[in-house]
Structure 1
Amino acid sequence: MITRQTANIAFLAFCAVALVTGAGAWLNGQPHAADMIWLAGTAPVLAALAVSIIRGFLRAEAGVDVIALLSMAGALALGETLAGSVIGLMVTGGQVLESWAEARAGREMSALLARAPHSANLYRDGHLEQVALKEVSPGNRLLVRTGEVVPVDGHVAGESVVLDESMLTGEPLPVRHIAGDAIRSGSVNAAKPFDMVASATAADSSFAGIVRLVEAAKRSKAPASRLADRYALLFVPLSLALAATAWLISGSPLRALAVLVVATPCPLILAVPVAIVSGISSCARRGVLVKGGGILEKLAEAKTLFFDKTGTLTGGMARLVAIETVPAHPAAEVLRLAASLDQASQHIIADAVVAAARARNIELSPPLRVEEVPGRGLSGMVEGHAVAVGSLAHVSEFLTTGDQHHFRPGRADHDGLATVYVAINGTLAGVLLLADEIRPETPRALRLLRKAGIGRLIMVTGDRRAAAESVGALLGVDAVLAEQTPAGKLAAIKAPDITGPVIMVGDGVNDAPALAAADVGVAMGARGTAASSEAAGIVLLVDRLDRLAEAIAIARRTRRIAVQSVMAGMGLSFAAMLVAALGYLPPLFGAMLQEAIDVVVILNALRAIQGVPLRGGRAGLTTADVERLRLEHAELAPVADQVRSMADQLSTHPAPDLRDQLAELEELLRTRLLVHEQGDETALYPRLADMLGGDDAMAPLSGMHREIHRLCRQLGQMVRGLQVCGPESPDLTKEAQRILYGLDTLLRVHFAEEEAIYHNLEETV
């Protein structure tokens, strides 16, 4: 099949050969033969252009090539065959340049299509068969060899695997997945062969959805291109009028021909589509898939942005934030036993508890005689202990003491936290507090969105008002619309007080109506549902909200460059038209000048292919560095848990019972926490400061270090005071509690700020 680019190259080659051959004949003293050769080289281009214009008129499109058609036809009619040949070369050269630019700008999206798998290795009746992708069904066991593309969505079966997900997410380094992890089609096996179990058909898998989006993006035509056509429609009658005036005043049709030659609106025809496709490609390189140029134009104009909360501003997964226990059961022990039992459950909260224990390097034991009541909790035996986890009502059935006064629900209610109560051997031992925490990049992403020109940030969510307003207050959004149904979200998008193009960001099925209704719907595609991705105009292939801010900056820069190209092309052409009308620019030289204008304007449009990175700094942290630093925080999490737990116990238990535990905690802080903070201050912070730039970028966090050291030193003095003055001193006990609560808050804020910096400095393509 002959492609448009191939046809354009063929026409260009034919024109070039005719032009050179005719020039050779003319130099050999054969002017008649030269005219015939130039005529033969121009006629096919003239015919093809005429057919293209007629087809455009039949589709009710502008047909802005009409001036090029008139100039070529006029040149041939007036015997200016050399000028006609040069104009033909100009037109075909511009078309080749456009098709090359589109191919160059769209190579990232084409690469996605080229990676589409066509077959899978299926285990059938004990044998391995290579089958067509359409034959794979959910539940089939597949083999993925080294270097092969994961054919469908599924789960890892067996040992851990390493996948190259760069084509899907833009993340440069391979990602490790353990047994049971969900994996997406389109990833490449970067290590040894592994088995997987399909969870979807090929048509319903992630990669197929992305391919459909890419194909839609490549088929689309931007409203900006139609706007360029409208500019050209104003330009065409002006050009014809000027050509006619020059003819009437001078009496020479060559004047009119010269005006028409330099009036050919190639900058209008070529520059805007090239800029738009370049902008779409630049977004694709950053993991932002834009369905079409029209979406990109609306993105550039938007001033209001709606967010869903869960999975968009927050991680969409529960995370352990605190452990409250009684003195007889240390926090680490409560978590270890609860997580050991939760290994037997597939509930999302149970998964979060197990993940929290593993992040703290806690070794788990296999549970025995497990019984689960769906929606309530579990019970069973762990290392000879009778353990029950779940709701308070469920756990209360296993209590023998009836003592529940240690744990008050107020904090969980106010902060929108989930609670998991833990009973050990008939005693209520503790409660695990979990939250859907704000994504590390979210605060910075919102600042970048405002910097990119978004005036209003509105959170719209179906979550409880308390939880929603807590997140909204932390992030500083302009409004919070909580407890919204899908219909409520749709109504918020269409509210009469919302003016201008609106962006909606979401990731769930309940967001799909709002995503479709918004001027620009943005789906968090890496973890979002297929429904939200299909309804949205933009899909973030990597779950980083700051990529949307980059896309907005790219869209605005692309629009600016497109308008620059249009105005520059029209201005240069109009100036050349005036010179030609005055008789100072013959048709042949006018054709050459117009070719130069085309090249300049299109090269300017290609500037849109360069991205607009919003992160400053001269270097970045590698993914391995970030994971190592986060692991250090995870290893300190039990220390932070003990700080909070000890502070809570000081208000409900007498100091004599806790004095030794307080002394152990103080020693733990001194030997582990302070050593860690000192290492960060001397080795890590200078490196981060150099990456961030400025005079003293790490000064606020260094100040936190000093405050942490001061509180730990005060706690040591309190512990020594209790040993000297006796545990009966209520003032010292209250002071120790005050220090612990302050230290708990400071540590959590400090770790969160550090992780945000790690995330922002992580090197990604």
Structure 2
Amino acid sequence: MRLPHLVWQRREVVLFAAAALLLAIGGLLWLMDARTAATAVWVAATLIGLAHSTVTLVAAARRRQPSVDVIAWLALAGALVVGEAFAGAVIAVMLASGALLEARAAARARRELSLLAARAPRTARRYGPDGLVEVAVGEVVPGDRLLVGSGEIVPVDGRLLGAATFDESALSGEGLPVERRAGEDVRSGVINAGHPVDLVATVPAAASTYAGVVRLVEQAQADSAPFVRTADRVAVAFVPLTLILAGVAWAATGEAVRAVAVLVVATPCPLLLAAPIAIMSGLSRAARVGVVIKGGASLERLAAGRVLLFDKTGTLTHGRPTLADVVTAGRLDADELLRLAGSLDQASAHVLAAAIVSAARGRGLMLQAPDEVREEHGYGLRGVVDGREVRLGKASWLVPEPAPAWAQRVRHRADLDGSLAVYVAVDGELAGALLFEDPVRADAPRMVRALRAAGIKRIVLVTGDRAEIAETVGRIVGVDAVEADRDPAEKLAIVKAEQAAAPTIMVGDGINDAPALAAAGAGVALAARGATASAEAADVVLTVDRVDALADAILISRRARRIAWQAVFAGMGLALAAMVAAAAGLLPPAAGATLQEIIDVAAIGIALTALLPARAYTAAMTPADVATARRLYAQHESVRPLVEQIRAVADDLSPTHRDAEPVRELLGRLESDLLAHERAEEAELVPILAKTLGGADPTGAISRTHAEIEHYVRRLRRALDGAGTAEVTDLRRLLYGLYAILRLHNAQEEEAAFSLVPEPVAKAPRR
């Protein structure tokens, strides 16, 4: 019983293997001059194709769907009638290969929920009379007290018994960790990013948030209408035309051979072979730019999209916290504060620890192994680094009341920017703060512009994040509308509403996006950092960590679809002309079969042009230019702390604090480090960018800001050389102006230049 079941499950593979093998055997026999045996083998291949085509047609008729297999069935039968066994065997192989591709697409649909199911917790740790007991998650009932360890997924919705930190990006789209207080509700599917925490289950697992997301995916997939292939749409018109023409030729002359001749030249190879070749060529070209499109139907849906919906976290932003600034209280400089924090956080599993350690190492700081490390649950971390006591954590733990002026500014800035502040105390005194944000991808604004150029008419940002943060990101990248504070069900409703007006493309990377991805015309998932449920539910997967590849994928898909139509219309147009000639008695079956092969070759030749290089929106640099850009990017990163120091020095200046010495020290570094870097970029990066992007003046804005930066530094030098203590206001104005220009300039360079460089340079730019 096992073997027949396995054969049935792999019937498309068996069909293709049998048809191809018989075609090859027949060819060998023909070359060995065993013509009769060769014909018999080819007839067998044709009969296999005819049987499969008959089964497919019956199934399509039951579903009341059009099918190009009608033409294939007629062509196979006609080939047998007129004795064109070789042509019939070739058609059988083409039919089998199409069936194999269709089977692979269907298998993908059945796998879409596999990762969601695999990620779902199977067990939970429940407190009982005998202590902690591991039980199946289905046995959890409301009122049970559960323990969720560090890094574990919350198994059911519940209420916290203590403060905790969660990574909620999978459900809410929020890229930064979220602090939850005792008594707050927490949803299943989020990850405990802090210390172990207890919670009380409020609903059973089947009614929890995570189970609801899985049901939404199932519902969205069930509601999705089947996509009608290009070949099937052509077949709707071509099949009746073929039958009518053959019938008229037979009825008008009484010669059945004319009807057979019409059917022979109507062999639909442009539909069965040329169109799939163009589509597969598009899939191949998309894969070269890091985009996996899951089959021809997915490519056509991507090409048809006119409305594009984006999730924010991990899509338009990086989806992980990044150090934005180091603010010091004056006792330590920024590098030393970051070095101490990074050294201590080497011993922490907190979600922000990796960002702190990475930032410290990125600045070339030498980290030391910490001693006496202890976690203060719900507050932070403490330990000893180089003999100094260091504490990292929340303001409520470290910041005294009333808070110092600089700490108040940090709080205000964090609220204004939507960032997260981690405070640092050294030897019992508050020493500074680290600010984190989820930065916009440097290539996102250019990608949005490219999408509009590629034919996208409307772009919508749909996110579970807060409205003020979502609107900021929306303004930066240039979307048409922002839908914030949306849960998975609301995202699904928005996609359905947009889909009712125009074909949609949905882009996301989290579990919260999976229902919307499944419901959209084409779902696009970013999976560069590993497989996710969104990648399983999507039609298109970006395997590179750069969203501008999506514009290239849309351009490639539209070009492949256009070439497929060209191949279809050219091939079927020539076939139609041959059919008319055959109906008029000008083309006998044998000659018609030969002519049809020529038409097929011509159509395939058109289809193969989809493999040729074409215009792309993602510009490519030469290897030498990439090396230069990477060297300049390293310098670009090295001066970033200096840029942030400009703001810190300006903040410290006031009518009551007029010491200009910090300004003089800063100016020395600006002249020696910053200006040298900007001049190197003007001399080396600007020519590379002009050559790569082309156009009238692609580097004008960058060159202009280079000049403006130098102008501000020179003005600052003149102000200091002739300034007294009464000119603090002018110094602050110049410093803030220079800071603003540098921030804008860095964003310009990261978007226009460094985001074009292959990884790792363009991997994680910050705004």
Same fold (TM over 0.5): yes
Paired residue for 1:750, among 745, 751, 767? 745
Q: What's 2:23 paired with? A: 12
Q: What's 2:73 paired with? A: 66
Paired residue for 1:92, among 75, 89, 103? 89
* Structure 1 alignment gaps of length 5 or more: 25-33, 76-83, 108-153, 155-220
Paired residue for 2:376, among 373, 379, 383? 373
Q: What's 1:483 paired with? A: 485
Distance 1:298 1:621, change over 3 A: farther
Mapped contact 1:406–1:652 kept (Cα < 8 A) = no
Q: Helix, strand or coil for the counterpart of 1:477?
A: coil
Mapped contact 1:68–1:260 kept (Cα < 8 A) = yes
Q: What's 2:265 paired with? A: 262
Distance 1:224 1:625, change over 3 A: farther
2:674 matches 1:673: yes
Q: What's 2:122 paired with? A: none
Q: CA deviation at 1:316?
A: 1.2
Q: Give me the whole-angstrom Cα distance separating, in 2, the residues matched to 1:54 and 1:18.
A: 28
Q: CA deviation at 1:715?
A: 1.1
Mapped contact 1:102–1:274 kept (Cα < 8 A) = no
Distance 1:627 1:687, change over 3 A: closer
Q: What's 1:589 paired with? A: 591
Q: Helix, strand or coil for the counterpart of 2:501?
A: coil
Mapped contact 2:709–2:741 kept (Cα < 8 A) = yes
TM-score between both structures, scaled by the size of structure 2? 0.74
| Deviations 1:322-375 (CA, angstroms, capped at 9, x unpaired) | 233334433223323332333332222232222222211122233333332244
Mapped contact 1:15–1:41 kept (Cα < 8 A) = yes
Q: CA deviation at 1:562?
A: 2.4
Q: Give me the whole-angstrom Cα distance separating, in 2, the residues matched to 1:689 and 1:447.
A: 19
Q: CA deviation at 1:437?
A: 0.6
Mapped contact 1:287–1:542 kept (Cα < 8 A) = yes
TM-score between both structures, scaled by the size of structure 1? 0.74
Mapped contact 1:102–1:277 kept (Cα < 8 A) = no
Q: Give me the whole-angstrom Cα distance separating, in 2, the residues matched to 1:90 and 1:100.
A: 16
Q: What's 2:246 paired with? A: 243
Paired residue for 1:563, among 562, 565, 571? 565
Which is worse superposed, 533-542 or 12-21?
12-21
The equivalences for 1:65-464 within 5 A come to 65-75=72-82, 84=83, 87-94=84-91, 96=93, 223-225=227-229, 227-229=230-232, 231-396=234-399, 403-404=404-405, 407-408=408-409, 409-464=411-466
Paired residue for 2:516, among 514, 517, 526? 514
Mapped contact 2:465–2:485 kept (Cα < 8 A) = yes
Q: Helix, strand or coil for the counterpart of 1:311?
A: coil
Q: What's 1:701 paired with? A: 702
Which is worse superposed, 290-299 or 230-239?
230-239
Which is worse superposed, 236-245 or 91-100?
91-100
Paired residue for 1:554, among 536, 553, 556? 556
% identical aligned pairs: 43
Q: Give me the whole-angstrom Cα distance separating, in 1, the residues matched to 2:573 and 2:714.
A: 72
Distance 1:351 1:20, change over 3 A: closer
Mapped contact 1:222–1:292 kept (Cα < 8 A) = no
Equivalent residues, number: 622
Q: Give me the whole-angstrom Cα distance separating, in 1, the residues matched to 2:100 and 2:680.
A: 50
Mapped contact 1:242–1:259 kept (Cα < 8 A) = yes
What amino acid is the match of 2:745? H
CA RMSD between the two structures: 3.4
Q: Helix, strand or coil for the counterpart of 2:431?
A: strand
Q: What's 2:618 paired with? A: 615
Q: Give me the whole-angstrom Cα distance separating, in 2, the residues matched to 1:709 and 1:277.
A: 52
Distance 1:753 1:104, change over 3 A: farther
Q: Give me the whole-angstrom Cα distance separating, in 2, the residues matched to 1:641 and 1:527.
A: 29
Q: Give me the whole-angstrom Cα distance separating, in 1, the residues matched to 2:342 and 2:38.
A: 83
Q: Give me the whole-angstrom Cα distance separating, in 2, the residues matched to 1:56 and 1:484.
A: 43
Mapped contact 2:46–2:88 kept (Cα < 8 A) = no
Q: Helix, strand or coil for the counterpart of 1:310?
A: coil
Q: Give me the whole-angstrom Cα distance separating, in 2, the residues matched to 1:348 and 1:721.
A: 49
What amino acid is the match of 2:57? F
Q: CA deviation at 1:496?
A: 6.5
What amino acid is the match of 1:674? L
Distance 1:222 1:474, change over 3 A: same
Q: Give me the whole-angstrom Cα distance separating, in 2, the residues matched to 1:487 and 1:248.
A: 60
Q: Give me the whole-angstrom Cα distance separating, in 2, the residues matched to 1:692 and 1:751.
A: 18
Q: Helix, strand or coil for the counterpart of 1:260?
A: helix
Q: Give me the whole-angstrom Cα distance separating, in 1, the residues matched to 2:548 and 2:641.
A: 31
Q: What's 1:647 paired with? A: 650
Q: Give me the whole-angstrom Cα distance separating, in 1, the residues matched to 2:560 and 2:44.
A: 35
What amino acid is the match of 1:69? L
Distance 1:245 1:468, change over 3 A: closer
Q: Give me the whole-angstrom Cα distance separating, in 1, the residues matched to 2:358 and 2:559.
A: 43
| Deviations 1:425-474 (CA, angstroms, capped at 9, x unpaired) | 34333222221111121111111221222222111222222222111111
Q: Give me the whole-angstrom Cα distance separating, in 2, the residues matched to 1:39 and 1:358.
A: 72
Mapped contact 1:283–1:611 kept (Cα < 8 A) = no
Q: Helix, strand or coil for the counterpart of 1:316?
A: coil
Q: Helix, strand or coil for the counterpart of 1:407?
A: helix
What amino acid is the match of 1:281? S
What amino acid is the match of 2:486? Q
Q: Helix, strand or coil for the counterpart of 2:721?
A: helix
Q: Helix, strand or coil for the counterpart of 1:585?
A: coil
Which is worse superposed, 550-559 or 689-698?
689-698
Distance 1:553 1:580, change over 3 A: same
| Deviations 1:38-70 (CA, angstroms, capped at 9, x unpaired) | 974664355334323322234336442232234
Q: CA deviation at 1:7?
A: 3.5
Which is worse superposed, 684-693 or 233-242?
233-242
Q: What's 2:534 paired with? A: 532
Q: What's 1:81 paired with? A: none
| Deviations 1:704-754 (CA, angstroms, capped at 9, x unpaired) | 1111111111111122123xx3x2x1xx21111111111112222222322
Q: Give me the whole-angstrom Cα distance separating, in 1, the residues matched to 2:21 and 2:621.
A: 46
* Structure 2 alignment gaps of length 5 or more: 1-6, 8-12, 62-66, 105-150, 152-224, 761-767
Q: What's 1:580 paired with? A: 582
Mapped contact 2:43–2:88 kept (Cα < 8 A) = no
